[in-house]
């Protein structure tokens, strides 16, 4: 039996962060991973998607080169070459993760962990035990429960598709489906996004969601809302997805069908029941310190909640290790988690939506201005998007910021820091951002929305 202070199961973002933190705190740490280090983010989700998105954005930029007076002969997407380079990048990153673990003195155990008791797991022939355990096992995609489900790829399979799909029908509601629709549309596919509910982003600020929907349609994505998939069939080399719409049934033909499938924690073969850890609605419930129903076992990342991204998995992994090793001293705080959408243009948010702020505060100010007048937006010809700021009316304290436009994914962090500091609109004036940048414009809008673009640009 090998004994450790901290055993981390799962080597995705949450597990790597937990193991690193444990080692930094001086614990003897083992990390068990059955597949590729880096988990969903590095191998199946964020990074593969971002690499393809980069190619799609580049393609569009080259197609528009004429606007800048640059002549480009003929532009074509060499999809296999893009995938080859993506694979090279991912392999390099996986190797780097392994080297980082070794340098930190963390024992990497390759294989599938199965609980033998609440404090011990078996991995192949090895038996490992620890007084403290962090479950960072992520989630796995499930079935759609419709006939022909096996003809529908998981959304992540699209990032590794051998042949580029000339047409794609994608089922999903939420950020990843919308981002993926933008990516493939940008790369030249005909894309239909099938949204089972009323909106692609039902949990976000309404105006923000509506603007993204409008932009998606303007990009040429066919977005069908209230569209419930009821079956899939093969038709020669193509596929057909039958959907139920308010007006009746419609068959949607495409080269490829894919879906953002419901996901759940891989309770087996992990053997969570042997450890006594409860699973509810496909996730591991935790308290405010990320402790599961078994006091010495913590959970972090996608395994413990549906509303998750990699940033949050890293944050939780680190915190779970700290609380596991030092007692429950640091509660989780989700108020300043930035959300991002890698659409074209990107979008990001932090804090409350207008609807949530109205429900929580007596009086609020919500202002939304287009980015089209910002100096940088004009120069870069990136005039699509908005800056929406929500503040408490009485004090001017910032409550939420919603951005759509170039660099929104980067600019949002500055606003998150301002929210965390409890700044008011006026206090933003103490910071002078570099000009002309998108952050300078968004900052100016946020300080004085009434002046709007007059403040945002010198000319």
Ligand X SMILES: Cc1cc2nc3c(=O)[nH]c(=O)nc-3n(C[C@H](O)[C@H](O)[C@H](O)COP(=O)(O)OP(=O)(O)OC[C@H]3O[C@@H](n4cnc5c(N)ncnc54)[C@H](O)[C@@H]3O)c2cc1C
Residue whose token pair is 């994914």: 409
Tell me how many degrees the CA angle 299-25-266 measures, rounded to the nearest 5: 20
Counted residue by residue, the chain has a size of 459
Q: Which is nearer to ligand X, 27 or 259 (CB)?
A: 259
Q: Which of 270, 327, 287 minimizes the C-alpha distance to 9?
A: 270
Report CA-CA distances (Å) from 140 to 32, 143, 144, 202: 17, 10, 13, 23
CB of 120 to ligand X, least distance (A): 14
Q: Which is nearer to ligand X, 19 or 227 (CB)?
A: 19
Q: Which of 345, 287, 386, 377 minimizes the C-alpha distance to 57?
A: 345
- Strand duo 364-370 + 222-224: pairing: unpaired
Q: Which is nearer to ligand X, 104 or 230 (CB)?
A: 104
Contact (Cβ atoms closer than 8 angstroms) between residue 416 and residue 442: no
Q: Which is nearer to ligand X, 52 or 136 (CB)?
A: 136
Q: What is the CA radius of gyration of the chain?
A: 24
Contact (Cβ atoms closer than 8 angstroms) between residue 194 and residue 169: yes
Contact (Cβ atoms closer than 8 angstroms) between residue 427 and residue 416: no
CB of 34 to ligand X, least distance (A): 4
Q: Which is nearer to ligand X, 14 or 193 (CB)?
A: 14
CB of 266 to ligand X, least distance (A): 5
Q: Is the peptide bond before 269 cis (omega within 30 degrees of 0)?
A: yes
Residue 447's SS3 state is helix
Q: Which is nearer to ligand X, 10 or 351 (CB)?
A: 10
Tell me how many degrees the CA angle 11-336-370 measures, rounded to the nearest 5: 115
CB of 318 to ligand X, least distance (A): 12
Q: Which is nearer to ligand X, 40 or 353 (CB)?
A: 40
E strand map for 305-444: 339-341, 347-351, 364-370, 386-392, 398-404
CB of 270 to ligand X, least distance (A): 4
CB of 397 to ligand X, least distance (A): 27
Q: Which is nearer to ligand X, 32 or 416 (CB)?
A: 32
CB of 199 to ligand X, least distance (A): 19
CB of 54 to ligand X, least distance (A): 12
Which residues would be at the binding site for ligand X (CB under 6 A)? Answer: 9-15, 32-35, 39-41, 45-46, 49, 112-113, 136-138, 155-156, 176, 266, 270, 301-303, 308-311, 313, 342
CB of 76 to ligand X, least distance (A): 26
Q: Which of 12, 56, 3, 50 minimizes the C-alpha distance to 30?
A: 3
Q: What is the separation of C-alpha 270 from the centre of its chain, rounded to a whole number of angstroms?
A: 25
Residue 294's SS3 state is coil
Residue 398's SS3 state is strand
Helices marked H in 142-258: 175-186, 206-218
CB of 192 to ligand X, least distance (A): 18
Residues 63, 354: Cα–Cα separation, whole Å: 38
Residue 449's SS3 state is coil
Helices marked H in 231-374: 267-270, 272-275, 310-326, 354-360
CB of 408 to ligand X, least distance (A): 14
Q: Which is nearer to ligand X, 351 or 375 (CB)?
A: 351
Contact (Cβ atoms closer than 8 angstroms) between residue 48 and residue 93: no
Q: Which is nearer to ligand X, 178 or 366 (CB)?
A: 178
Q: Which is nearer to ligand X, 368 or 408 (CB)?
A: 408
DSSP element (H, E) containing 69: none
Residues 42, 14: Cα–Cα separation, whole Å: 12
Q: Which is nearer to ligand X, 221 or 270 (CB)?
A: 270
User: Quick one: 16 exposed, middle or buried, by C-beta within 10 A (0-12, 13-18, 19+)?
Assistant: buried
CB of 152 to ligand X, least distance (A): 14
């Amino acid at each position: 039996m090998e004994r450790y202070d901290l055993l981390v199961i799962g080597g995705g973002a949450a597990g790597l962060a937990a193991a690193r933190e444990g080692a930094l705190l001086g614990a003897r740490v083992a990390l068990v991973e059955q597949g590729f280090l880096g988990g969903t983010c590095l191998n199946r989700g964020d990074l593969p998607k971002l690499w393809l998105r980069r190619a799609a954005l580049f393609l569009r930029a080259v197609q528009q080169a004429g606007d800048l007076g640059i002549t480009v002969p003929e532009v074509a997407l060499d999809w296999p070459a893009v995938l080859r380079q993506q694979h090279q990048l991912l392999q390099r990153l996986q190797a780097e993760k392994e080297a980082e673990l070794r340098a930190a003195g963390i024992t990497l155990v390759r294989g599938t962990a199965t609980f033998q008791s609440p404090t011990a797991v078996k991995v192949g022939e090895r038996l490992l035990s620890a007084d403290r355990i962090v479950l960072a096992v992520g989630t796995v995609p499930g079935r759609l429960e419709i006939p022909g489900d096996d003809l529908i790829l998981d959304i992540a399979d699209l990032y590794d598709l051998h042949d580029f799909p000339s047409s794609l029908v994608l089922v999903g509601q939420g950020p990843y489906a919308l981002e993926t629709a933008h990516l493939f549309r940008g790369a030249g596919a005909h894309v239909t996004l099938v949204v089972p509910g009323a909106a692609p982003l039902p949990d976000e600020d309404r105006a923000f969601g509506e603007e993204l929907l409008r932009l998606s349609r303007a990009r040429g994505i066919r977005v069908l809302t209230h569209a419930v998939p009821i079956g899939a069939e093969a038709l020669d080399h193509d596929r057909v997805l039958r959907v139920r719409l308010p007006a009746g049934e419609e068959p949607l033909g495409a080269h490829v069908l894919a879906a953002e499938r419901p996901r759940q924690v891989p309770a087996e073969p992990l053997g969570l029941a042997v450890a006594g850890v409860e699973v509810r609605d496909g996730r591991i419930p935790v308290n405010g310190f990320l402790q599961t129903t078994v006091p010495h076992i913590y959970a972090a990342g996608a395994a413990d909640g549906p509303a998750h991204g990699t940033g949050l998995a890293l944050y939780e992994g680190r915190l779970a290790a700290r609380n596991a090793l030092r007692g429950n001293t640091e509660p989780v705080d989700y108020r300043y988690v930035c959300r991002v959408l890698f659409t074209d243009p990107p979008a990001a948010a932090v804090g409350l939506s207008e609807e949530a702020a109205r429900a929580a505060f007596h009086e609020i100010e919500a202002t939304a201005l287009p980015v089209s007048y910002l100096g940088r937006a004009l120069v870069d010809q990136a005039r699509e998007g908005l800056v929406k700021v929500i503040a408490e009316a009485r004090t001017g304290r910032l409550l939420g910021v919603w951005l759509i436009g170039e660099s929104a994914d980067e600019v949002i962090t500055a606003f998150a820091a301002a929210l965390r500091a409890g700044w008011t609109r006026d206090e933003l004036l103490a910071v002078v951002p570099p000009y002309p940048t998108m952050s300078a414009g968004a900052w100016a809008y946020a300080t004085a929305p009434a002046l709007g673009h007059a403040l945002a640009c010198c000319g």
